Structure 1
Amino acid sequence: MSEIKLEKKEKPEDLIRAKQLLNEYKLDEADQIINKFEKKGGHTRYNIVLCHSLKCELLCERDLLEDAVKFAEQTYKESLGLENNLLSVDILLIMALALLRQFQGPTDKAHDIIKQGEELLKTLTLKLPAEYKQRKAYIAFLKGWAYEQKSKADSAVKQFELSISLREELGAKKEIALSLVGIAHVFMYRKSDFDRALKYLKQGLAFAEESGNKNVIGYCLYYMAGVHLVKGDLDRSIMLYEQSLIINNKINNKIMMGRVLSSLGGSYAMIGELNRSIRFYEQSLELFKEYNYKFLMVGVFNNLSESYRMKGELDRALECIEQSVGLSRELGVLRPLAFNYNLLIQILIDMGDLERARNSLRDLKQLNSQLKDKIVNLMYLFDKALLLKTSPRARNRVKAEELLRQILEEEDLRIVILLKVLLNLCELLLVELQMTNEVEILEEIKPFITQLLNLSDKSHSFWILGEIYLLQAKLALISLNLEEARRLLTRALNGSLNVTSPPATAIINKVSTGATEDVTFSDTPTTELLIMANALIWLNQNDKFQDI
């Protein structure tokens, strides 16, 4: 609870210094001072409670959240005998923060504790108006996060804005930055308005830099990188994540380091560097396991599963997603569970286990009804389209196409969703073209391929480029333009393997000449590569068909 000031009046210098160190995220130094103060003994009851409240905050900052809640409950009871006690309010709000950070199920308990702190604050007679205003601002800030977790976006923004107006009166620049990040989070994850999210984050970063607080600067950079990632600006995303990682490493913020490493894994997966992506995910998991931070482990296992799926290692992908599902169920977090089912369905379709995929879609449908979340609904529609696309019946493929077009009508689609929708829509149209030979279908496909090319240019992703060349090669094969198909398939392999490396170049040369006996594929979607390689071999062995 960083904006609550500890006045020097009636407070030991040691604890004032410990509070300052907590605000600067110098947790080990703060811990030493707090422990030394406790061992000294002979303190007034007020100073003992004050010391324990700082210990609660230290536990919370170290993400030892269950310990923080338990110790805060104990400290709150200790504080009740003190007259006109602002410390009781502070301890309740620290407890609420720890509960919100756990992300475990409904936030009703956190909301009740915030309300309890708010009501207690109203009963106190405070000597300084700033003391009241600081707590009121923090209460609004916590309410913002509580509403965000309940998917009440407008209410969350309103509370964050209230906290900003109060913090502006106090000149609390670091705290203003944190409130602006809260608003950006809502626009990014609840409203999918990435441009507005970025606007608030730029403002937040400016305030953070003015405050000089490295912890908050790293936090703002992390969120800015995330917006660029979902917008498809991968180079910018990686640069900002790396800046955040450097800062968090310097201040030894291991939880944020884990979050940044996981997000870097996502960026490199989008580019197509899957082995590098997996290494980042594994480093992130090590840090989260150290703190038993299960909620963040849910996301890493989910994303690690996607990287293995992209590599074609479906058994490992299934193993990771099942671990993520298990953790989500254990924690009772429904939205992450919906994301788990989204990927699980796609893996099961790739494995050919359509019955289990249909059962999982029914589970996702139920979650979609409960959550009423825009992103979850789009995932459900997409997965439903994927299953319909597997059907041999033409009417089901038509329904799949309709659903994909419906998703495309949404504004500010995340790049991951947009890419998958465009690729699958193109595949459906290619099948239709192959079956009907209707020329107008070509005109339908071209704008989608152009859109994919624009995304590739923006993101500098050789994985996306490889997918585009593969689509164009399929189109050329259907049109019996075999020379063009050969050229595009080779370029697709270039795109998938990233030919800046000598091993990749060697693989391309072998596949292009049909010498595939000792070819190995280590960092690319294996299934698609084998399809491309086989197609190239077939073309090289059947040059006689060129004259058909």
Structure 2
Amino acid sequence: MDGLFFITTGLAIAGKFEEAFNFFKEIESVIKSISNVSKEILTQRKARLSVAIAFVGLHGGKVDLVEKSLEWILDSQEKFDKSFEIVWANLIMASYLLRVKSKFDLCREHIKKALSLAKEIKFNHFWIALCQLYFGVYYISIGEMDKSLKYNIKALELFKKIKSSFNIAILLNNMGDLYGEMGEYELALEHLEESINLLEQIPQGFFSIEGTIESLITLTVEHGDNERAQKYFHRLENIYNQKKNERIEFGYKFAKALILKTSSRIRDKAKAEELFKELIETKTISFDVIIKAHIHLCDILLMEYRIDNDSEIFTELNYYIAKLLT
């Protein structure tokens, strides 16, 4: 059963979510057939399965599974032995509360709980580092850049010690985004490029190279470095044409809309407008991208209104501003 669990987790980390969901059915049938182990061990294995389902649900687009899978564990976590499953359950719930529910205080409480537990389990370097990474994500989400940077640096040091290349790449990407928000353009480029260089050397997972390229496109467009943005976009387009799936398509469309918006041609800006509208109506947990799509769309509509002074455009602009604020 443990072997099936680790296979499933590996599939999820590799971004093969449908295959992972299929394995869950097999694990559930194995658990039901077990009769020669203690109730405590069986409960621990059920908890492990539930946490894995929540992880796959969060990253595989079935977010309703997160609360369903974790609720019984988190409500009675004091009854469990301190283990990585409970640490992981708290971190997944923290991510869900942040990305899906925007409940920042509850998110922070779950990360604090996870870190407290991580300090008490064996072989805990990975989990302590992961908690620091989550604190970094939390603090950038509430606009506390200096605190976010502090936690990202801590996490990076720990992951370098245990040579976790995948998580080092994630942190370099996060720090690149953070430096971009702080106006440190060259540092942002340096960290994002370093993340790409590392991702090219390891197997691709649910966090993959195209996400970092999208960050580079956003960064370079926002700094008016359109020539470099075009170079990154061509690279992303090549990846998109090879892979073509829903996860890549969403980021690709956003990047394409950004590039089209930088064009001086009216028809390109019109195409960008349509793409931003399409993205806004997409069902996704990438709320940060949806917010950016709203902002860029409103910017285009404002430019149109200044040129045409058309009341219909003004009404549409107000509609999207109101939608952004809700």
TM score, norm. by length of structure 2: 0.90
CA 337–211 in structure 1, closer or farther in 2 if over 3 Å, else same: same
Aligned with 1:387: secondary structure?
Answer: helix
Q: 1:414 to 1:293 in 2, by over 3 A?
A: same
Cα distance change on mapping 1:153 and 1:292 into 2, 3 Å: closer
Residue in 1 that maps onto 2:25 = 161
Match for 2:183 among 298, 303, 312?
Answer: 312
- The number of aligned residues is 317
Which of 143, 166, 178 is equivalent to 2:7? 143
Shift in Å, 1:443:
2.0
The residue number in structure 1 matching 2:230 is 358
**Aligned counterparts of 2:186 and 2:222: Cα–Cα separation in 1:** 11
Superposed counterparts of 1:509-524, under 5 Å:
none
| Aligned with residue 283 of structure 1, among 134, 147, 154 | 154
Give the 3 Å change call, closer, same or farther, for CA 370–229 of structure 1 in structure 2.
farther
Where does residue 217 of structure 1 map in the other structure? 86
Matched residue of 1:250: which SS?
coil
Say whether 1:383 aligns with 2:255.
Answer: yes
State the alpha-carbon separation in 2 of the partners of residues 247 and 275 from structure 1.
Answer: 25
1:330 maps to which residue? Answer: 201
**Secondary structure of the corresponding residue to residue 410 of structure 1:** coil
Residues 417, 189 of structure 1: CA spacing in aligned structure 2 closer, same or farther, 3 A cutoff? same
Of 88, 97, 107, the residue aligned with 1:228 is 97
Letter in 1 for 2:211: F
The 5 A counterparts of 1:242-281 are: 242-251=112-121, 253-281=124-152
The structure that has the greater radius of gyration is: 1
The Cα shift of 1:281 comes to 0.5
Deviation at 1:150, TM superposition (A): 5.1
Structure 2 stretches of 5 or more lacking a match? none
Question: Could you tell me how far 1:149 is from its partner in structure 2?
Answer: 4.5
Q: Is the 8 A contact 1:259 1:284 kept in 2?
A: yes
Structure 1: distance between partners of 2:5 and 2:163: 26
Alignment counterpart, residue 183 of structure 1, candidates 40, 44, 53 = 53
What is the alpha-carbon distance in structure 2 between the residues aligned to residue 139 and residue 281 of structure 1? 32
Alpha carbons 2:139, 2:145 under 8 Å: kept: yes
Task: For 2:64, give the aligned amino acid.
Answer: D
Percent of residue pairs bearing the same amino acid type: 27
Residue identity in the other structure for 1:243: K
Residue 169 of structure 1: how far off its partner (Å)? 4.6
Give yes or no for contact 1:151–1:373 (8 Å, CA) kept in 2: no
Q: Which residue of 1 aligns with 2:163?
A: 292
Report the Cα offset of residue 158 of structure 1.
2.2
Q: For 1:452-467, list aligned pairs within 5 A.
A: 452-454=324-326
Q: CA deviation at 1:414?
A: 2.0
Report if aligned partners of 2:54, 2:65 keep a CA contact under 8 Å in 1.
yes
Taking only aligned residues, the RMSD between alpha carbons, in angstroms, comes to 2.1
> What is the deviation of 1:168?
4.5
Given residue 138 of structure 2, which amino acid in structure 1 is its aligned partner? S
- In structure 1, distance between residues paired with 2:80 and 2:246: 36
Distance 2:87 2:172 in 1: 24
What are the superposed Cα offsets for residues 239-283 of structure 1, whole Å, 9 maximum, x if unpaired? 211111111123361211111211211111121111111111011
1:198 is aligned to 67
Equivalent position of 2:268 in the other structure: 396
Partner of 2:293: 421
- Corresponding residue for 2:43? 173
Q: Give 1:56-71 correspondences, 5 Å limit.
A: none
SS of match in other structure, 1:308: helix
Q: Which residue of 2 aligns with 1:349?
A: 221
